[in-house]
Structure 1
Amino acid sequence: SEASHLPTRVDLDSTADGATTEATRTAMHIVVPIRGPDGQAVAGAAFTVRREFAVLGQRMLLLAVAGSVVLLLLLLLAVRWLITTQVLRPLARVERHMKTVQRSGTLALLPGPMSADEIGSLATSFNAMLRQLHDLRQQLESQNFALGKSESATAMLHNVRNALTPVSTILSRASTQTAPVDLALLNRAVAELANDTVAPARREKLAAFVATAVAAEVQDRTDRHRALLVAREAMGQVLEIIGQQQRAVHERPEMSPCDVTDIIARNATIARYSGSVSIAVGFPAQPCHVLASRIILSQVIGNLFANAADAIAAHGTGSGSIRVTIEQTDDMAQIVIRDDGEGFAAGAAPNLFQRGYSTRQHKVGGLGLHWCANAMQAMQGTLRLDSAGPG
């Protein structure tokens, strides 16, 4: 047998009755007893058999495990590469473009060719959405421009109407006002004074009458002249409003330092002639310079004075007062216009700034306050209405 060709040595120390086997990882050591005449083991024949197939099997098993691990790692790397190139990078590209659009506000399309998978479909849908948003933005800008022009023209007419109200009031008063002295009676008194036969007592009375008549006529002329000056100032403001509107068509109005006290004083004079009621207007005398458009700020204050005059007239007392206070804090100026006219409910304050809203039944709409709020916001200011309630 193959065992007879193996190198064998005699182990005299082995006296075991049976064969013994000792296996290691690479070989198997076998000891076979050598019996004497009496049948007892006197020595042992020891030889070693190499376990080549077992070692080869173990190596093949280790090689298979190592190959499987390496193959699994390569497969994981390939899957990672596919996920990175086919999913993560396209998604990161879309995300970066969305952040760019959000940061810049420019609705630019996602550049580059689109793949035919789900990510490419998402990018195509994203570009379609950007196109729709771009078209809607252009339509909205066009509509806002047209609406702004229409609203600006309507607001200009509203402001012109407010500025022309004192002119209408002054002309109405002038057309219905009678002469302070009967001209025929004055002529007769002058004729009597020219007669030398008039008694001294009579002459003294006639002279006093003529002097009083002349003084009344002079006072009437002075009042008419003062009213005409106010009317001329109101007409000048109308021309400024129209001129400002014409300039605004071609250029954006610029803000410059202006004295708000002077603007208040100018509109306060006009407010006194804004209706049939007697209105007393009080305001500070010291100048207060603010950074604003003088014409627009004058229109805002004029609108507020007109609304205050309407509230006083609606109160039904026949007279009222408007008080203006100015408080300067740091780089801001707070202008408060108070009137003792008819108030409004506290919850109605937000509605007063809505376009077309008005608490007056005879008013066409509430464009005045709506325009004033937008004008103040354009000049980096605010407008607020407060009231303790109706009455």
Structure 2
Amino acid sequence: MSIRWKIIAVLGVVTILYAGIDHLSLRFLFAKQSEHIGRERAEEDLQQVLSSLEGEKQELAELAAAWADWLASAGSDALGDSLGTQLMVGCNVHVLYLCAADGRVLHHRVLDPETGSEIQLRQLPGHALGVNHPALAWFDGQPERRSLAATDKGILALASRRTAEELPGGTLILGRFLDSACLARVAERQGVRLELLAGDWAAQGADPAIVEASARSEGGVVFGAATAEALSVGRTLVDWEGRDTLLLEVESPRRSDSRDAKFKGYVLLSSLATALILTFVLMRLLERVVVRPLGLLTHHTVEVGKGNSAVAPLDLASQDELGTLAREFGRMLERLEVLRREASNASRQAGMSEVATCVLHNVGNALNSATVAAGLVRSGAQALAVDDLVQLAEVLEHEAHDLPGFLASEGRDRKLVAFARELGDGLSSQRRGLLMELSRLDETIQRIVLLITTQQSLAGGRGFPERVSLAAQLDEVVELTRSAASSGVVEWRREYEDVPETVTDRHRLVEILLVLIRNARQAVEESGRADGSVTLRIRRSGERRVCVEVEDNGAGIAPENLTRIFAGGFTTKKTGLGYSLHHACNAATELGGTLSGESAGPGAGACFRLEVPLVQVPTALRPASARASMESPVPV
């Protein structure tokens, strides 16, 4: 019998036994009517909680109506300090927006519900919301709209109201965070425990039964796990975009007499005892038919993973799937080496492609700058005051027969001197502008030549040892990756110890440094920090090893991704392929070094360390060309 049928048979017997015992227990020892009453009471508690939440939105709507009327009477001069923090705190309002009819934000303030300090919300930008923003749309002809929204700081109750036509604004938006303190007040008033969740409900600890049932229902009431003390009930709520993204979960306490409690306790104990007995039987059976063979196969796999090629082939006597798996395992090992070489070649090609893409991107930016400079020179040349000079020459030529008399009459000599001076000053200014643009054009062309020269110096075969200065190589890669189209400003800091030159594969080293520096730059720009910086360090990590560190204060890495970032095909970027760090790790291994990374979490930056051997430079080895170190810090 195959292992599949063995497991099916065992689980079938266990399932039938447990289902029969559980059915009898529920049928004869549990009062169905009590459960029905409990559900009705739970629905009532849920409705009362919904009424309380609706009361929060109703209070905001009344405040919005009162404030809108007050603004209509006070006029646009009341848009300043009158709508300040003191008024919002006094009315328990955390969000205040006054928007124009086209969505522009005329006045806004968002307060942290815990500290009271002003904050920013990604969902409510401070400059403009847009006419189709959920807070402004879907009034359906009504003067006001109430909604719930999931934000960075939690779930927000909103009330939007159209303002008077004479005001500069089109919509007044008030919001209140439904934080833990607010929900605790509602729960204490209703005598229940509640959770209001947004996003991934299961990850936030929601009842799995409620999550699964809510996915099937269309906004109706669903029930979750039931205990002797409480019954969980939930319902999805519509957010400000009209989607069922919010889940209200209420744990309603059971209200029953002592007899019901005894029955429920007996059923719980009997079910628990039955489950423990059947679990013990199931574990003993599965240990014989599944666990023990899997243990042997696992031990064999671990030995192979440690590189112990002398381990004897595993030959299970069974003829089921595990036996077949053990026999096929040997054939699989023969293909692993072939697949490893193919993966290494693929990651190497991906790294080469990224280097070429980076160079082409920089050259493209430089060509754009050159095109702009050439256009400015052409415009400046066309704007030269040559026509005025030609006209002056024609007048003088026409009066050449009596030029002294012509100039002496009507004060033309003074006017001619003033005109010539003004004309000369204008031409001089225009010449300086043309020379400045030509200088910029020359700098751009020199940068293109520098980029192409750098790329040519990096091209060539791999595996040839060269004399390399780590400091100069780091600076060269920073310059290579510099992009004129960069969206942010990155401050480059250098902390270089006095480390001697080493002998290594320069092309492999450049590929690794290019990946680390580019990732650090992108992480800083993605975080949007005004003080974004990347720190480059070179230090000894031993007598014969040197460490290169690239540390940024950018977006950071989630803890669950730290063990996966070097795996081939894994990426957190929308446009990434997931081979950069994988290829860099393989290249570090080929250099006889290691590549590691660490991060304290999202928003805390990251640090990657490359350790390579410090090889003494032979006297006969010709030094490789390297560009001089850049000044620090360098804004990019």
TM-score for the superposition, normalised by structure 2: 0.36
- Secondary structure at the aligned position of 2:571 is classed as coil
Label 1:302 to 1:151 Cα distance change in 2 as closer, same or farther (>3 A).
closer
Alpha-carbon distance between aligned partners in 1 of 2:416 and 2:529, rounded to the nearest angstrom: 51
2:450 aligned residue (212, 215, 233): 233
The root-mean-square deviation of aligned C-alpha atoms, in Å, is: 4.0
- Alignment counterpart, residue 344 of structure 2, candidates 132, 136, 148: 148
Secondary structure of the structure 2 residue equivalent to 1:352: coil
The 2-side partners of 1:333 and 1:284 are apart by 14
Please say if 1:267 is aligned against 2:477.
yes
| 1:172 paired residue number | 368
Q: 1:216 to 1:284 in 2, by over 3 A?
A: farther
1:366 Cα shift? 2.0
Query: Which residue of the partner structure matches residue 258 of structure 1?
Result: 468
Counterpart mapping for 1:119-134 below 5 A: none
For residues 240-299 of structure 1, give each alpha carbon's deviation from its aligned partner in whole angstroms, at most 9, with x where no partner exists. Answer: 55x43xx34xxxx13333111111121222233263334443435767523321112112
- The one of 402, 417, 431 aligned to 1:214: 431
The aligned amino acid for 1:158 is E
Does the Cα contact within 8 Å between 2:347 and 2:580 map onto a contact in 1? no
Contact 1:282 1:324 in 2 (8 A): yes
Q: Is the 2:359–2:481 contact (alpha carbons within 8 Å) kept by the matching residues of 1?
A: no
Q: Which residue of 2 aligns with 1:291?
A: 503
Shift of 1:155: 2.2
Q: 1:188 aligns with which of 380, 386, 393?
A: 386
Classify 1:190/1:161 alpha carbon distance in 2 versus 1 (closer, same or farther; 3 Å).
farther
Query: Are 2:572 and 1:359 aligned?
Result: yes
How many Å separate the matches in 2 of 1:297 and 1:312?
23
How far, CA to CA, are the matches of 2:482 and 2:391 in structure 1? 42
3-state DSSP of counterpart to 2:594: coil
The residue aligned with 2:95 is none
Helix, strand or coil at the partner of 2:565: helix
Deviation at 1:176, TM superposition (A): 4.8
Q: How many pairs are equivalent?
A: 264
Is 1:328–1:334's contact at 8 Å kept on the other side of the alignment? yes
One-letter amino acid of the structure 1 residue matched with residue 448 of structure 2: A
Opposite residue 374 of structure 1, the aligned amino acid is N
- 1:297-355 CA distances to partner (integer Å, 9 max, x unpaired)? 11221222221222233233588443322222432222222334333334432222222
CA distance in 2, matches of 1:204, 1:317: 52
CA distance in 2, matches of 1:377, 1:301: 14
Rate the CA distance shift 1:227–1:383 in 2: closer, same or farther, 3 A: farther
Secondary structure, counterpart of 2:593 in structure 1: coil
Moved more, 300-309 or 195-204: 195-204
Larger displacement relative to structure 2 (316-325 or 267-276): 316-325
Deviation for aligned residue 1:164 = 2.2
More helix by share: 1
Pick one of 365, 373, 380 that aligns with 2:592: 380
Give the match's secondary structure for 1:186. Answer: coil
Structure 2 distance, partners of 1:170, 1:273, is 9
- Give the secondary structure class of the aligned counterpart of 2:599: coil
Deviation of 1:105 (Å): 5.2
Q: Specify the alignment match of 2:552 in structure 1.
A: 339
CA distance in 1, matches of 2:361, 2:537: 25
Contact 2:499 2:538 in 1 (8 A): no
CA contact (8 A) 1:327 1:333 kept: yes
Inter-partner Cα distance in structure 2 for 1:324 and 1:207: 52
Q: Distance in 2 between matches of 1:194 and 1:287?
A: 70
Q: Which residue of 2 aligns with 1:313?
A: 525
Amino acid at match of 2:343: L
Shift of 1:179: 0.9
Residues 316, 203 of structure 1: alpha-carbon distance in 2 compared, 3 angstrom cutoff: farther
- Which secondary structure state, in structure 1, belongs to the residue aligned with residue 596 of structure 2? coil
CA distance in 1, matches of 2:483, 2:439: 16
The one-letter code matched in structure 2 to 1:186 is: L
1:350 aligns with 2:563: yes
Query: Normalising to structure 1: TM-score of the pair?
Result: 0.55
The alpha-carbon deviation at position 139 of structure 1 amounts to: 2.9
Q: For each residue in 1:162-195, what CA deviation from the matched residue of structure 2 results, as whole angstroms up to 9, or x when unmatched?
A: 2322112222333455516632222538847985
- Aligned to 1:179, the other structure's residue is in SS state helix
Q: Distance in 2 between matches of 1:254 and 1:174?
A: 37
Q: Which runs of 5+ in 2 are unaligned?
A: 1-305, 314-326, 397-414, 604-636
Radius of gyration: which is bigger?
A: 1
Structure 1 regions of 5+ residues with no counterpart?
Answer: 1-101, 110-130
Does the C-alpha gap of structure 1 residues 325 and 225 become closer, same or farther in structure 2, counting only changes over 3 Å?
farther
Which residue identity is paired with 2:438? R
**In structure 2, do the counterparts of structure 1 residues 283 and 255 end up closer, same or farther at CA, with 3 Å as the change threshold?**
same
